[in-house]
Amino acid sequence: MNNPKTLIERALSSKAFAGLDIDEIGDDHLYSGLETPLRADAFEQSDTEKKEQIAALFEQIMHVMGLDLTDDSLRGTPMRVAKMYIDEIFSGLNPANKPKVALFENKYEYGQMLVEKNITFYSNCEHHFVPIIGQAHVAYISSGKVIGLSKLNRIVQYYAKRPQVQERLTNQIGTDLQAILGTEDVAVIIDAKHLCVSSRGIKDDTSATVTSFYGGQFEQTEKLAELHRYIYG
């Protein structure tokens, strides 16, 4: 197993984070690129093996914190956490879980923007592993193909279900939809609350973070204003 200290020292020595310490990387909301950082061997273990290993490690964490793992309420917690990590809140790490998307001919000849707004999602901050709770608004203009409405929600959820930074999440959804739909005319707006801001650190419970991705026609002032009218009224 890799030495955690060695991994941290290696990250801090990279060009992206040169001169920063660990707390600065987390609190300043930095991230290293569009792709979620994954090792080359990330999927060599089966999900069952990962759950068993996570459960064992989380049991150690609970033990270090002084919790009594013989208590009926706590006994099953390590495996519950392991299952939650692999099967639920971080299931978007595994490409095998990416939603299957079918495109259809735009037989309605609908040439205006389609907006799917108020898509609720739950993600987790990759700096502190605490929740990000928000809504995504997704829009596109068909170039001849259309996608089922529920697939827009599923794509948002897929990228949300991994340790994330909101800026990366926004760009991942936008660029993937451009590739799937074969058009640059895609927009994504995310409005989210970060518990790493509200429950720790500065402890600001009223602020929210908004990020956006605009491509193609959505970079035009008129289209952008139209999109905002649909979303915000």
CATH of the domain at 109: 3.30.1130.10
Verify that 22 and 72 share a domain, yes or no.
yes
| Residue where one domain finishes, among candidates 74, 97, 120 | 97
Verify that 93 and 155 share a domain, yes or no.
no
- For position 21, what pLDDT does the model report? 59
Verify that 47 and 112 share a domain, yes or no.
no
- For position 8, what pLDDT does the model report? 44
- Residue 155 and residue 201 in contact, taking contact as beta carbons nearer than 8 Å: no
- For the chain, how many structural domains are there in total? 2
Verify that 109 and 200 share a domain, yes or no.
yes
Domain that includes residue 129, residue range: 103-232
Sole residue written with tokens 């099953």? 76
Sheet of strand 209-214, all strands in order from the earlier edge strand to the far edge? 163-164, 113-125, 131-141, 186-194, 209-214
Q: Which residues on neighbouring strands pair with residue 62, listed in sequence order?
A: none
- pLDDT tens for each residue of 115-128: 999 999 999 999 99
| Residue where one domain finishes, among candidates 35, 66, 97 | 97
Sole residue written with tokens 């290993």? 53
Nearest CA among 205, 201, 131 for reference residue 162: 131
Verify that 221 and 187 share a domain, yes or no.
yes
Q: What angle do CA 155, 159, 164 make, to 5 degrees?
A: 160
| Residue where one domain finishes, among candidates 34, 68, 97 | 97
Verify that 114 and 227 share a domain, yes or no.
yes
User: Catalytic residue positions?
Assistant: 125-128, 166, 194, 196
- Tell me the residue ranges of DSSP E strands in the chain: 103-105, 113-125, 131-141, 145-147, 163-164, 186-194, 209-214
First vs last Cα of the chain: how many Å apart? Answer: 53
- For position 20, what pLDDT does the model report? 55
Verify that 60 and 150 share a domain, yes or no.
no
- Residue 122 and residue 148 in contact, taking contact as beta carbons nearer than 8 Å: no
Verify that 119 and 79 share a domain, yes or no.
no
- For position 7, what pLDDT does the model report? 46
Verify that 88 and 170 share a domain, yes or no.
no
Distance (Å) of CA 92 to CA 103, 158, 182, 205: 22, 5, 23, 27
Verify that 113 and 82 share a domain, yes or no.
no
Verify that 115 and 226 share a domain, yes or no.
yes
The CATH number covering residue 73 comes to 1.10.286.10
The one-character DSSP state at 153 is H
- Spell out, as residue ranges, where the chain has pLDDT lower than 70: 1-32
Verify that 14 and 111 share a domain, yes or no.
no
